Amino acid sequence: MPGRRDRFSGNILLYDYLSRKRAPIFLDRNLTQILDAHDDLLNGGDRSGCRTQDFDFRSQWEPPSSDQLDKMMAQENYKGSFVLEVHAINSHNGQTTAHTDRDHNPANKVRVLMQLSSSIRVSIIPPSDAPATRSFARDAKIRGADRSHQEASVETSPIILKPRDFSAEPGKVSIDDMYRMILSVNFASQTDAQELYNYLGLTAETATHLSTSYPNILECPPDKISLPLKAAGKPLGISIQISMYWNSTGLGDSILANYNRNLRSATELQSSYPTPPRDLVPRYKLTYVYGNETLERSDLVCLHCSRGKKLKEIRDLEMHLNAWHDNFAYQLVSAGTDANGVAHWRFISEVADSKADQRASDRTDEPRDIRVLAPDRPFDKRRFLEGDDTYQRAARVDKHLKYPKRKQLADILPPPAPRQRKPPNTIQERPPKHKKNFVVPKAPRGITFFRSLSKRPLQPGESISESDDELDESWMHLRKHAEIDKQDGFSPPARYFLKLFDDFMHEESLHADIHAGDAIIRFARHGNPMWNEDLIHEFTKKLKELLEDDVVSKEVHDAAIEIVEAQKKTSISNDSSSNELSRRLAELDVQHGEDAEPPFDKCYCGGDATVSPGMQGIVACRNIDCIRRVFHHACIQKHSKYKVPAPDPKSWTWTCDDCRDEGVAAT
């Protein structure tokens, strides 16, 4: 996942940390049971029958007794250990046994059988390079219960050895090593040994120490075996029957889990239905996509859970990922079904966006309590996976409004009333804003009143307006005008019209489209000084757009165009009258100029520039016949059509307007 690996890595680390610190076993179990109960209710089931399979077992469950707990603790401690069990001592097949006169006599109903005390000792011989270990002994009872005198049972407790008992370094025990076992049977006296020998038909033996060996305890036989017993290295013709095995480590199973499993198997009735055959052909092909990396699975098993819990269908897996692993956002995409009937699905993963909880107040860090109340209807898992959140919104206690289905909105809500529009001739001008004026009172001694923003001191008795401290928003209009000028697709008339229209609508302060028609009529009335062909064309385009969007009515559209056309005719007649007045004023000005005295040695301002040169200096006309001769530099910049730069003694070559006009006329 190039470029996003850090996001996924951080989220995975956080999820692993939470999974180790929290114990969501009960939450997972309850949530699973609740979802199953809601599915049953949606399918028409009864709420009282929504009980899990092990409801009866859990209601009758009792903790184990002290003896059971001790036994389970011992079994827990014996995990991963070597167990040796001694069963019997028997004679070899075909071995004749001694017979006494008692055997030919009728059997008594009650007689004392053979019963001897002895000890069983086990020694483990490690490999040659390992140090020797100690031996382990158990008391045993040898009983003769066989009428054929072929076998004597041995009653003793199992000999349990952990790896640390026969190896100095248990962690280094390898399957390739050889650990030889020496097993011996010891009698307290020759009398006890002689009685056993007589029982098994060995009358000439008197040894009290019998022994045998097994080559490697790391390789245990699956069933019982018989090892020949020897006395001082000499075979006796008898053997000892033993069984050996290793206890499994049982990783992942606790004492309570083992107790519940054994108790459930003992109390529950066995099912009469045979176990169905396992479907060897996978029914699903799942592809998990994490950026540029993919993982494929053939079972409905969650990748995040440590214990793989198989689910029934693909929607159950999608619900599991959304409910239990909300740090990721999975999108399920179907890829079809192949010829073998295997359904292909893709889970596209993204890091889920998490929002901070709303705080209880601005002064606390604790999140606000969320109060929920279960709705009357059951939870629909299918609609939730499709993105429907009406169930969650209905569960919020602070949301008093119910959200009906979209199909029911048309039946509940009344039809909208037709929009009432004003006729154009009844639209009035927007009333002017009246601002209140206040008289500044006389301040106490030593106190001066100021304006809050301008900090201007106020005088007692001064009248001030409530809007004197309003912010200057002219820069906003200038900024808008600058943005309009930056647009490339507008003509100059369009830019000019947009500026006028935007400023006017800003002053209108419209709160809804229903008032747009009134503002359009007022805009048309106030545009008398500016209407021309280009602006009227832009205004007509704007009216057409508003009419197509149903912002203004057809009556407002036609009335606005009529107002603009009427103002255009009035503007043309006023322009012709203004032009005639300007022509007559120009003739009077020329006649007045002819009657007036020539301005000898006078600047445009009427004064002599040589007498009062001013701050910026004077400039002389280059025409030697000029009647004015010298001019103020400031007057040239203000009245002359031909401007002159700052005075420079090396470039005083400037001609006044009168001399230039006379030269052009003479030419």
CB 628 within 8 A of CB 658: yes
pTM recorded for the entire structure: 0.36
Tell me how far apart the alpha carbons of residues 620 and 626 are, in angstroms, rounded to a whole number.
Answer: 9
Residue 260, in any domain of the structure: no
Domain boundary among the residues 246, 271, 306 is at 246
In this predicted structure, the answer to whether residue 1 has a pLDDT above a threshold of 50 is no
26 & 88 share domain: no
Q: For tokens 């006009």, what's the residue?
A: 661
90 & 237 share domain: yes
198 & 125 share domain: yes
Q: What is the pLDDT of residue 60?
A: 75
502 & 625 share domain: no
Task: Please list the helix, strand and coil fractions of the chain in percent, rounded to the nearest 5, in that order.
Answer: 35, 20, 45
Mean pLDDT, residues 486-492 taken together: 84
Tell me how far apart the alpha carbons of residues 117 and 25 are, in angstroms, rounded to a whole number.
Answer: 53
374 & 342 share domain: no
Confidence bin at 52 (pLDDT 50/70/90)? low
606 & 490 share domain: no
Which of 185-194, 202-211, 561-570 tops mean pLDDT? 185-194
478 & 567 share domain: yes
86 & 168 share domain: yes
Mean pLDDT, residues 548-567 taken together: 88
Average the pLDDT over each of 157-171, 317-331, 462-476 and give the range with the smallest value: 462-476
Q: In angstroms, what CA-CA distances link 275 with 128, 268, 272?
A: 51, 16, 9
Residue 251, in any domain of the structure: no
94 & 224 share domain: yes
Residue 256, in any domain of the structure: no
Residue 489: name the closest of 498, 502, 477, 476 by CA.
498
For the chain, percent of residues with pLDDT exceeding 70: 71
Q: What is the pLDDT of residue 528?
A: 64
Q: What is the pLDDT of residue 400?
A: 46
Residue 312, in any domain of the structure: yes
Which residues share a beta bridge with 643?
none
Higher pLDDT, 602 or 413: 602
Residue 525, in any domain of the structure: yes
Amino acid at 242: I
CB 538 within 8 A of CB 574: no
In this predicted structure, the answer to whether residue 110 has a pLDDT above a threshold of 60 is no
Q: What is the domain-level CATH number for residue 144? A: 2.60.40
Confidence bin at 193 (pLDDT 50/70/90)? confident
In this predicted structure, the answer to whether residue 164 has a pLDDT above a threshold of 80 is yes
Q: What is the pLDDT of residue 582?
A: 63
Domain range for 561 is 474-575
The three-state DSSP-derived secondary structure of 452-493 is: CCCCCECCCCCEEECCCCCCCCHHHHHHHHHHHHHCCCCCHH
218 & 147 share domain: yes
Q: What is the pLDDT of residue 403?
A: 47
Confidence bin at 86 (pLDDT 50/70/90)? very high
pLDDT, tens only, 4-39: 444 444 555 555 555 554 545 455 666 777 777 888
547 & 480 share domain: yes
Mean pLDDT, residues 183-202 taken together: 87
Confidence bin at 3 (pLDDT 50/70/90)? very low
Tell me how far apart the alpha carbons of residues 310 and 24 are, in angstroms, rounded to a whole number.
Answer: 18
In this predicted structure, the answer to whether residue 343 has a pLDDT above a threshold of 70 is yes
Confidence bin at 121 (pLDDT 50/70/90)? very high
**Per-chain mean pLDDT for the chain:** 76
Mean pLDDT, residues 433-437 taken together: 76
CB 609 within 8 A of CB 631: yes
For the chain, percent of residues with pLDDT exceeding 90: 6
Q: How many domains does the chain fold into?
A: 5
Confidence bin at 609 (pLDDT 50/70/90)? confident
pLDDT, tens only, 622-664: 888 888 888 888 888 888 877 766 555 555 578 888 888 877 6
Residue 617, in any domain of the structure: yes
CB 306 within 8 A of CB 19: yes
CB 162 within 8 A of CB 84: no
Confidence bin at 619 (pLDDT 50/70/90)? confident
CA angle 356/362/363 to nearest 5° reads 115
Q: What is the pLDDT of residue 50?
A: 53
Higher pLDDT, 359 or 376: 376
Kind of pairing, strands 343-351 and 284-290? parallel
Mean pLDDT, residues 511-515 taken together: 83
pLDDT, tens only, 267-317: 665 555 555 555 555 588 888 888 888 888 888 888 887 555 667 788 888
In this predicted structure, the answer to whether residue 356 has a pLDDT above a threshold of 70 is no
616: CB partners within 8 A, 6+ apart: 632, 633, 634, 646, 647
Which of 50-54, 369-373, 564-568 tops mean pLDDT? 564-568
Tell me how far apart the alpha carbons of residues 169 and 167 are, in angstroms, rounded to a whole number.
Answer: 5
492 & 531 share domain: yes
Domain boundary among the residues 246, 268, 298 is at 246
Residue 166, in any domain of the structure: yes
Q: What is the pLDDT of residue 185?
A: 92
Q: What is the domain-level CATH number for residue 642? A: 3.30.40.10
Residue 427, in any domain of the structure: no
Confidence bin at 595 (pLDDT 50/70/90)? low
